[in-house]
Structure 1
Amino acid sequence: MEGQTNKRLATLVGCNYVGTPYELRGCINDVDAVRDTLVARFGFAPADVAVLTDVRGAEVLPTGANIRRALADMVARAAPGDVLFFHYSGHGTLVPPQHGEGGAEKEAIVPSDFNLITDVDFRLLVDRVPPGASFTIVSDSCHSGGLIDQEKEQIGPSVCFDSGAPPTRTARFVPYVALLDHLSAISGMPSSIHIADHLVALFGADASAKFHAHGRSGNGSTLSTALAPASAPTQPRPDEGILLSGCQTNETSADVPSYEASGGKACGAFSSAVQSVLAAHPTPMSNRELVAKARAVLNEVGFEQHPCLYCTDANAEAPFLSQGKEEAAVGAALL
């Protein structure tokens, strides 16, 4: 239709893991705040913002399969010029290399059913984004730096700030050993084997593409086409993936039980810092500026975590969520 504007699509996920040993307090509050900001400031239609949380009574839980499906559906709807956004608040973890892989531990988020979504899964999603569209990921979780495999670091471990004693908080981190013990109790397999074997046995084709050899599950079934690595590149290439992570790969992100900056509500320190920066700056800010200012906010109040930015050089200087003059006017009117 003539004059039709580009779409703005979002998927927001918050996992509090209520009733488990890994319970958090602020993740669902983060999602509520982000949803309000997307609609009020950035021009997202409420119907185009999908929300998955593990709040009691939720019809669709943020399981690994459900999150993958929501993200794949969002990417499938995208056309050139569209703005895609994924916010995740919850636990993160590091996965050691499988036998024979070598290399360093890799990043993953922890859905409500512990069916990990890895850096490889996010790389496969980013590679499906149409040219000219953008896919911004904000991950307020531990070890979230580098969560898009092979994405270029713009702000990362080489940029540091001194910090004082951190406020009271809980790390949004599930240790690898704890994940193994939890999954082993369900799968019935010994915890001495790699987590990939547990996840493939429990979730089959819904397990991370990282844990499948040649795009096939351990039971012989073909991986879901949503994330199957049919033509994943072996070398980094310019793309439209933009990652704003709550911390560096070797750090934890804070879940704060009560924080003045969030009206006394439980929240994620990084999510709250981003909200504070956006509220103080109604005019468009680049992705680089937003991460740098969020770093400064966290440093000022003593959080020992350093948000990072991963994207192309052009996207580092592009406005966060492609905010234009119309959205900026709305943001200024809200102050």
Structure 2
Amino acid sequence: MESAKKKLATLVGCNYAGTPNELQGCINDVVAMRDTLINRFGFASGDVTVLTDERGSPVLPTGANIKRALADMVACAAPGDVLFFHYSGHGTLIPPVKAHHGHGECDEAIVPCDFNLITDVDFRRLVDRVPRGASFTMVSDSCHSGGLIDLEKEQIGPAVLSGGTPAAVASTPTTRTAARFLPYTAVIDHLSGVSGVDAAHHVAEHLLALFGTDASAKFHHHNHDAEQPARPDDGILLSGCQTDETSADVPEDDEAAAGGKACGAFSNAIQTVLASHPPPVSNRELVSMARRVLSEQGFEQHPCLYCSDANAEAPFLWQEEEKTIAVTAAAEPAMSAL
């Protein structure tokens, strides 16, 4: 991949304050990531869009606003650009509207502040619009986040590590943390109270009634199925856990909190790895080391990596090894003598 022309990021943190679904560390996660992008990876502050549901936020992280920010980022991209999306908030699993090819597996989604779910199909379509030669990296610190980019190849995860058979392990949060997970029934209960649609209906009926064309592409009749033409794929997903697991939201009084601040366990593990390892750190190395950090801290969640074989070994956000300034410094006296 050629050196990047632009580095663009969209960071989303949903704490759902004042609701039964409240979390503590999601906004802190994206604030920390913003600082890391600017200070370590050279992102310009004006190229980092932050959406949170903090009181007074100018743009709330609704489903439509998140998708619009991501679409705008992709629309600005050119070959060689580095695109990044970080999400901290609730995730959920949704049953298919109808069984796909005879199977009834649930699909992954993130939960914006207005519950207008963004699904694995939406992220697949987004990645498919990324210009060839540009890259799209996604970090999702949410429950059931494994596989959030539909059809992406699993590099680190239960199927690979167990020799092809997904591990039948569903972790639960420890007593010291909360889970970044909304059960499907909780999503339905919330939406039915707003949409007026009977709770017995599929979530698609609620979302289409409430949000119309802004609802996930998964729920529209024109949605194409998983059969898509092959194309070079520059989508990279680092998930906070496996599809069958939950991700921990760590309160500020926990020993694993980031500098005494509430955080996501996975987000904090990424920060820990990056702070202790000089560039470059590959995507595979970052996920593997984050797994070790979480294990040492006693968390029962297993981050996963989904991307092409080449991107698994590529540096996270394409950061190259820092060039020493000694060469430049040594050259200065010679230049001044001319």
Q: Could you say which residue in structure 1 is the equivalent of 2:329?
A: none
Mapped to 2, the partners of 1:147 and 1:232 lie a distance apart of: 14
Query: Within 1, Cα distance between the matches of 2:85 and 2:78?
Result: 16
Task: Check whether the contact 2:98–2:104 (CA below 8 A) recurs between aligned residues.
Answer: no
Relative to structure 1, the CA distance from residue 319 to residue 136 in structure 2 (aligned partners, 3 Å threshold; closer, same or farther) is: same
C-alpha separation in 2, matches of 1:250 and 1:52: 27
CA contact (8 A) 1:42 1:327 kept: no
Question: Are 2:311 and 1:315 aligned?
Answer: yes
Aligned to 2:334: none
1:135 aligns with 136
Q: Kindly indicate whether residue 252 of structure 2 is the aligned counterpart of residue 244 of structure 1.
A: no
Query: How much does 1:59 deviate?
Result: 1.1
State the match for 2:293 in structure 1.
297
Query: Separation in 1 of the partners of 2:301 and 2:283?
Result: 18
Aligned equivalents of 2:279, 2:16: Cα separation in 1: 36
Deviations 1:35-94 (A, max 9, x none): 000000001000000000000011100000000000000000000000000000000000
8 A contact 2:173–2:246 mirrored in 1: no
Give the aligned CA root-mean-square deviation in angstroms. Answer: 2.3
CA contact (8 A) 2:282 2:313 kept: yes
Relative to the length of structure 2, the TM-score reads 0.88
Distance 1:74 1:301, change over 3 A: same
Is 1:275 the counterpart of 2:271? The answer is yes
Q: Tell me the SS of whatever aligns to 2:237.
A: strand
State the AA in 2 paired with 1:117.
I
Q: Is the 8 A contact 1:283 1:328 kept in 2?
A: no
Q: Retained in 1: the 8 A contact 2:120–2:149?
A: yes
Distance 1:167 1:42, change over 3 A: farther
Task: Give the conservation status (yes or no) of the 8 Å contact 2:4–2:82.
Answer: no
Calculate the TM-score normalised by the size of structure 1: 0.88
Deviation per CA, 1:207-234: give whole Å up to 9, x if none. 000000015xxxxxxxxxxxxx7x9962
Change (3 A) 1:136 1:295: same
Greater CA deviation, 231-240 or 241-250?
Answer: 231-240
The answer to which of 270-279 and 234-243 deviates more is 234-243
Could you tell me which runs of 5 or more consecutive residues in structure 1 were left unpaired when the two chains were aligned.
216-228, 330-335
Q: Distance in 2 between matches of 1:22 and 1:74?
A: 29
Is 1:60–2:59 an aligned residue pair? yes
Partner of 1:180: 188
Residue 325 of structure 1: CA displacement?
2.9
Q: Which residue of 1 aligns with 2:156?
A: 155
8 Å Cα contact 2:238/2:303 also seen in 1: yes
Taking structure 1 as reference, are residues 192 and 74 closer, same or farther at Cα in structure 2, changes over 3 Å only?
Answer: same
4+ residue runs over 6 A deviation: 160-165
The corresponding residue for 2:86 is: 87
2:330 corresponds in structure 1 to none
CA contact (8 A) 1:95 1:105 kept: yes
Cα-to-partner distance string for 1:287-335 (whole Å, 9 max, x where unaligned): 0000000000001111000000000000000000000134898xxxxxx
Preserved contact between residue 249 and residue 264 of structure 2 (Cα < 8 Å): yes
Write out aligned runs for 1:203-218 (5 A).
Answer: 203-215=211-223
8 Å CA contact 1:43–1:327 kept in 2: the answer is no
- Distance in 2, matches of 1:296 and 1:326, equals 25
Contact 2:173 / 2:248 at 8 angstroms: preserved in 1? no
- Percent identity between the two aligned chains: 71
Structure-2 change in CA distance of 1:236 and 1:303 (3 Å): farther
Structure 2: how far apart are the matches of 1:189 and 1:75?
34
Asked if 1 retains the 8 angstrom alpha-carbon contact of 2:151 and 2:226, the reply is no
Query: Match for residue 248 of structure 2?
Result: 254
Question: Do the aligned residues in 2 keep the contact of 1:9 with 1:49 (CA within 8 Å)?
Answer: yes
> Residues 165 and 85 of structure 1: is their aligned pair in 2 closer, same or farther, counting only changes over 3 Å?
closer
Which residue, 192, 205, 213 being the options, matches 1:197? 205
Distance 1:308 1:206 in 2: 29
> Structure 1 residues 128 and 27, CA, compared in 2 at 3 Å: closer, same or farther?
same
Q: Which residue of 2 aligns with 1:111?
A: 112
Q: Does 1:11 align with 2:19?
A: no
How do 1:21-36 residues align onto structure 2 when only pairs under 5 Å count?
21-36=20-35
Unaligned runs of 5+ in 2: 326-338
Kindly tell me the number of residue pairs found equivalent between the two proteins: 312
Q: Pick which of 94-103 and 69-78 moved more.
A: 94-103
The CA distance in 1 between the partners of 2:323 and 2:191, in whole Å, is 45
Determine if contact 2:172/2:179 at 8 Å carries over to the other structure.
Answer: no
